[in-house]
A and B are shown apart, each in its own frame.
Chain A
Amino acid sequence: GAVVSQHPSWVICKSGTSVKIECRSLDFQATTMFWYRQFPKQSLMLMATSNEGSKATYEQGVEKDKFLINHASLTLSTLTVTSAHPEDSSFYICSAQGTLETQYFGPGTRLLVL
């Protein structure tokens, strides 16, 4: 149980394009999902908290107009990186909150912006 999927697992795109990443909880419903970013040799940094049916809450320093989050259902949250630039290249990981506030992570999406 508590499986979270992410799609795509790899994205290579040109600078200036937008990239959409999907996060799904496969066998449970998640009112709350989270989006993290992880640079090489660093720990996970929370970008935003996504609540089903309401606006996402962004962490300080994260541009909400650049990283668009939609949580339209209890099993799906999407992150769209708009007008991506090379500095946005990173490992993006989502998680879905299950019981006892445990977060279950998706497999991650590696984004490379050329």
Chain B
Amino acid sequence: GQNIDQPTEMTATEGAIVQINCTYQTSGFNGLFWYQQHAGEAPTFLSYNVLDGLEEKGRFSSFLSRSKGYSYLLLKELQMKDSASYLCAVLAGKLIFGQGTELSVKP
């Protein structure tokens, strides 16, 4: 079967760093995506990892370990506007989404 796990919700403080983990078990793997989704809006693309290692893009970084079936999204210098749901999605024939992690950034 296809299974993607990520925490349901997390809380962090403005200016801090937060790491959102994602583990997956899928039949096939052609890459892992992270998307940000604000309430009532469609997801926006954050990152794509297909090889092991860390991809850095400004305040956001994403890490992948294919052997462990594990990824994380790292958000630095948190801002209030980062409060959103973060979706981990694996491309395995089709894009399979996790349930999303609701991140609340507090002042």
Contact = CB atoms under 8 A, between A and B. Distances in A.
B10 interface: no
A93 interface: yes
A42 B48 contact: no
Interface string A79-102: 000000000000101000000111
B30 interface: yes
A92 B41 CA distance: 11
A101 B42 contact: no
Contacts of A43: 87, 97-100
A49 interface: yes
A82 B47 CA distance: 36
A93 B33 CA distance: 17
B31 A101 contact: yes
Contact of A42 (B95, B96, B99): B99
Contacts of A67: none
A46 B93 CA distance: 12
Nearest to A93: B42
A103 interface: yes
B91 interface: yes
A24 to B, nearest CB: 14
A6 B94 CA distance: 21
Contacts of A110: 40
B15 to A, nearest CB: 28
Nearest to A94: B42
Nearest to A2: B45
A44 B87 contact: yes
Nearest to B98: A43
Listed residue (B42, B45, B48, B95) with the most chain A CB atoms within 10 angstroms of its CB? B42
A100 B48 contact: yes
Contacts of B99: 42-43
A108 B41 contact: yes
B20 to A, nearest CB: 14
B91 A105 contact: no
Contacts of A107: 41-42
Given A101-B30, A101-B91, A102-B45, 4 more contacts: A6-B42, A43-B87, A43-B99, A59-B94
